[in-house]
């Protein structure tokens, strides 16, 4: 890739002098950056840059802007909808060497980090403070990537998503300028909210070079509970009532009967095979006990079969480990098969019917599949088991996932609760957002007139 | 104002056919819309429109766009920094007749309202649901205005500001197009976050025609507590520790000794004249009792003088009424004088020194003044007593308020916690946001190329 006749070649040659070995053009490095965890067709970048500082990010973007070369930001590579695939080549900007926790301010409940810091790394560095970073998307994603996809996970019902947990940013915009958004204050009424514009922009408006994120006190006591229900509707009704009652559940996860069967088999548990809720409560010892008791009353009034709760750390760990191992448990249902996942979020009033319809769709298909959900938010995932060598399976899974989204949009929901648009869901942008897509495009053009930032993604929705 | 030779005259003539009597050109109506609650110089709009529907808002904006006439959105007129003053004339778009609560969805914890609905009106309509709209900026502001200024108030520490409580919008953009932003789902990872772009844009990017806002369960039990401290620093340290401990205080208000003296005199109380915290706790009866007990332990360890708490509704009402009457209590200190207010937000670690410096500034001036604050957020207000007929007083108050902002910016804070930019704080935009202002201007130009939306305000920051 040292062909100076092509624009990328010129940018690469210029950047070699800035980055040296940290500008890789080997096929192995480029191959590693050609895909994410989705099943979308990989595409090689022309080179991969590993900047360490904001100044280096500026140099990369300036060189790419000068030669009209695409820049594709890359965090941990754990995105799920094709976000980081460099479909038009160019330079992938991997933030893994921007991995310093710059500042921890316990009094302000915030930490300042570089974008390549992962959530687990941050929580290790917070060990002595009594504080935690709450957002947990499952994968040990980078915070820059989590911010860019507006990630969330199991704790969002209590502590919020990246939308609520990013307080301020530093960003290099597509002309190479470094700006800061937000401040160190918890709230502000000054200026357009650029922080929230870059959070969720999937790298199409600039590169995040620093994040100030909120921290939360580690609760003094934690308790977990589990209960099964005769029907999905009763499980969801129980969640709605618990939330309306004001019980501040820290997590409430739904697993359908197929998921429970998988968990039982894989994690050696003997849970009743029925729609099930996993609860977690955070607070003082007395308060988590009261929360669990209130939740028990509510779930029983909605027909719950048993309600097992525990503050025992080992038993709790075992339960949540089973939840976290669900991916592997499901894969194990048919050895050699892969999972194809769906992700939507609906108003919680429409959640039960949405899950029931998703289940009926799976049952009417030739595929096996399960449904799990962060039900306090109305967000749920389907996972379809497919034979990776059977194109018919892939086609059928795509169809099921699309139908899921179409139904979500009909009931006022969204095409993605937490996995994002990437490339896979570009086709739904206009359906979900209507004419607002034109406003988004005007913003994209205003900030990135050359269209170099992660082209072929959200900024280019049709 | 029927001079068809000027652009506004043409737009007015066109709109008369659409709005009839709801397009007012009388001096009295125009005068009412020439100012807000600030001391900034009033300016008459050429006409005031009172649309009832989104279609009428579109007609107004389209007519103004066609003739290059400014449009200034106007809610309850309670803004404090000149937001609604039509400095370049044009048409003021008053949303008071767009005052319908369109939908209440208890299961989804949301309500959908027109922008002219006030927060008190919404809470009255929620009476039977057990839910509340939490944001309380003091004034009975319109929800469209509160969203546009990213308003907050006493409960933000627990329930968030308008930033956290607006879920979705409908907006008419400066070319007359109606778009929707967000969805009815609680979270989403699709598309640029336009909701947060319009929240806080102070009417410079479009007119909000509908809001979906979050509701919260009315707590089963509420308790209040009050305690005084030897110093400001000890009061603030107590708040920091309570928040770090994870006590979910619903409100925590700071009043300095001058404010307490005013409250004692006006509301016939006998509180110790010292820096004081008012707490409020929400939850179950047992949980609010535990919160109060934990807060008492913490405040005592920080030198609190007494800690009086109560769940008695009458006593609580009396206490908070005194807090709410503070404006009048302060005005009463010198009959005939007015209040000039300051508003900043700082990282809570810098709050004590910021309050102490603000106090020292007041003491070194010729003015009397007090300090109160939503201290859980690091947000506080100064109020300077000025003789409205003494220009020297106004000059001195301006100087004090400016110095307050300058110090806030030095410690990583913001020029406004909740009152906004309006016109009064335009001069701080570049100081606070640096080159990000250029990004804001590019967005403004992309969405409003004619510059018709609330000109001379945030969108035109230099």
DSSP secondary structure letters along B146-176: HHHTT---TTHHHH--HHHHEEEEEEE-TTS
Q: Which of A322-326, B106-110, B302-306, B348-352 has the lowest mean pLDDT?
A: A322-326
Listed in sequence order, the residues at least 6 apart from B312 whose beta carbon sits closer than 8 Å to its beta carbon are none
Contact A291, A283 (CB under 8 A): yes
Q: Does A240 touch chain B (CB under 8 A)?
A: yes
The helix-helix angle for B313-324 and B257-267 (nearest 10°) equals 120
Listed in sequence order, the residues at least 6 apart from A194 whose beta carbon sits closer than 8 Å to its beta carbon are A169, A171, A179, A181, A182, B436, B439, B440
Residue with tokens 């001036």: B365
- Contact between A187 and B379 using a beta-carbon 8 Å cutoff: yes
Tens digit of each residue's pLDDT (9 = 90 or more) over B165-179: 999 999 999 999 999
Partner residue opposite A179 with nearest CB, options B192, B418, B435: B435
Beta-strand ranges (E) seen in A349-443 are 368-374, 379-386
pLDDT at A2 over 50: no
**d(C-alpha B190, C-alpha A440), whole Å:** 11
Q: Does B118 touch chain A (CB under 8 A)?
A: no
Dihedral of CA B194/B197/B200/B202: which sign? negative
pLDDT at A33 over 90: yes
| Radius of gyration of chain A, Cα coordinates, nearest whole angstrom | 23
Q: Which one of A110, A130, A131, A186 makes the best mutation probe of the B interface by having the most chain B beta carbons within 10 Å? A: A186
Domains of chain B: 7-96 (3.30.43.10), 101-217 (3.30.465.10), 221-327 (3.30.70.2190), 334-410 (3.30.70.2740)
Alpha helices for A52-161 (secondary structure H) = 54-67, 119-125, 143-148, 156-159
Torsion of CA A423, A142, A278, A302, to 10 degrees: -50
> A392: which 2 tokens?
């018919």
Contact A332, A265 (CB under 8 A): yes
* ipTM greater than cut 0.95: yes
By C-alpha distance, which of B81, B84, B34, B149 is closest to B424?
B81
- Contact between B205 and A192 using a beta-carbon 8 Å cutoff: yes
Tens digit of each residue's pLDDT (9 = 90 or more) over B178-219: 999 999 999 999 999 999 999 999 999 999 999 999 999 999
- Contact between A443 and B192 using a beta-carbon 8 Å cutoff: yes
Average pLDDT over residues A130-158: 96
Q: How confident is the model at residue B326 (pLDDT cuts 50, 70, 90)?
A: confident
Q: How confident is the model at residue B328 (pLDDT cuts 50, 70, 90)?
A: confident
β-bridge partners, A227: A277
**d(C-alpha B273, C-alpha B255), whole Å:** 10
- Contact between B161 and A187 using a beta-carbon 8 Å cutoff: yes
Partner residue opposite B192 with nearest CB, options A177, A191, A200: A200
Partner residue opposite B109 with nearest CB, options A200, A243, A421: A243
- Contact between B178 and A151 using a beta-carbon 8 Å cutoff: no
Cα angle B11-B17-B18, degrees, rounded to a multiple of 5 = 90
Partner residue opposite B190 with nearest CB, options A190, A220, A425: A425
pLDDT, chain B, mean: 95
Beta-strand ranges (E) seen in A31-128 are 47-49, 71-74, 91-94, 101-105, 110-113
Average pLDDT over residues B315-324: 85
**d(C-alpha B450, C-alpha B173), whole Å:** 12
- Contact between B188 and A220 using a beta-carbon 8 Å cutoff: no
Tens digit of each residue's pLDDT (9 = 90 or more) over A363-393: 999 999 999 999 999 999 999 999 999 999 9
**d(C-alpha B333, C-alpha B265), whole Å:** 9
pLDDT, chain A, mean: 95
pLDDT at A157 over 60: yes
Which chain A residues have a beta carbon less than 8 Å from that of B297?
A: none
Chain A, window 358-417: residues with a beta carbon less than 8 angstroms from a chain B beta carbon? 377-379, 408, 411-417
Q: Does A178 touch chain B (CB under 8 A)?
A: yes
| pLDDT score for A7 | 83
Torsion of CA B327, B328, B329, B331, to 10 degrees: 90
Tell me how close the Cα of A117 comes to any Cα of chain B, in angstroms: 21
**d(C-alpha A378, C-alpha B91), whole Å:** 42
pLDDT at B2 over 70: no
**d(C-alpha A433, C-alpha B168), whole Å:** 11
Partner residue opposite B417 with nearest CB, options A185, A191, A435: A185
């Amino acid at each position: 890739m040292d062909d100076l006749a092509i624009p990328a070649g010129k940018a690469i040659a210029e950047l070699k002098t800035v980055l040296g070995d940290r500008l890789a053009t080997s096929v192995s490095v480029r191959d590693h950056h050609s895909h994410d965890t989705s099943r979308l067709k990989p595409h090689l970048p022309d080179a991969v840059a590993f900047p360490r500082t904001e100044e280096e990010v500026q140099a990369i973007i300036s060189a790419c802007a000068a030669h009209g070369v695409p820049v594709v930001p890359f965090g941990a590579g754990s995105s799920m909808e094709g976000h980081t695939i460099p479909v038009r080549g160019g330079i992938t900007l991997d933030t893994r060497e921007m991995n310093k926790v710059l500042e921890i301010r316990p009094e302000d409940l915030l930490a300042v980090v570089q974008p390549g810091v992962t959530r687990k790394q941050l929580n290790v560095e917070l060990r002595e403070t009594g504080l935690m970073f709450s957002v947990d998307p499952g994968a040990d994603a980078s915070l820059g990537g989590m911010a860019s996809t507006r990630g969330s996970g199991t704790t969002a019902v209590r502590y919020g998503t990246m939308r609520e947990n990013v307080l301020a940013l530093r960003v290099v915009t597509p002309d190479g300028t470094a700006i800061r958004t937000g401040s160190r204050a918890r709230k502000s009424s000054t200026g357009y909210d650029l922080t929230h514009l870059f959070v969720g922009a999937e790298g199409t408006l600039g590169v995040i070079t620093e994040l100030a994120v909120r921290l939360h006190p580690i609760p003094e006591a934690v308790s977990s509970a589990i209960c099964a229900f005769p029907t999905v509707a009763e499980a969801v009704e129980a969640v709605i009532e618990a939330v309306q009652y004001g019980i501040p559940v820290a997590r409430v996860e739904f697993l359908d009967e197929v998921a429970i069967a998988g968990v039982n088999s894989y994690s050696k548990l003997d849970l009743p095979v029925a729609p099930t809720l996993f609860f977690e409560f955070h607070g003082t010892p007395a308060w988590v006990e009261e929360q669990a008791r209130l939740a028990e009353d509510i779930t029983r009034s909605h027909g719950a079969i048993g309600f097992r709760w525990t503050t025992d750390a080992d038993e709790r760990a075992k339960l949540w480990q089973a939840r976290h191992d669900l991916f592997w448990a499901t894969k194990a249902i048919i050895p050699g098969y892969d999972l194809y996942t769906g992700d939507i979020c609906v108003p919680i009033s429409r959640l039960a019917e949405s899950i029931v319809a998703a289940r009926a769709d799976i049952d009417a298909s030739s595929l096996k599949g399960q449904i799990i959900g962060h039900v306090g938010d109305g967000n749920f995932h389907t996972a379809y088991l497919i034979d990776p060598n059977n194109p018919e399976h892939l086609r059928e899974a795509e169809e099921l996932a699309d139908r899921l989204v179409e139904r979500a949009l009909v009931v006022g929901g969204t095409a993605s609760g937490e996995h994002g648009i990437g490339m896979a869901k570009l086709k739904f942008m206009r359906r979900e957002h209507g004419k607002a897509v034109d406003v988004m495009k005007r913003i994209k053009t205003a900030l990135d007139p050359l269209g170099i930032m992660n082209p072929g993604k959200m900024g280019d929705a049709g």
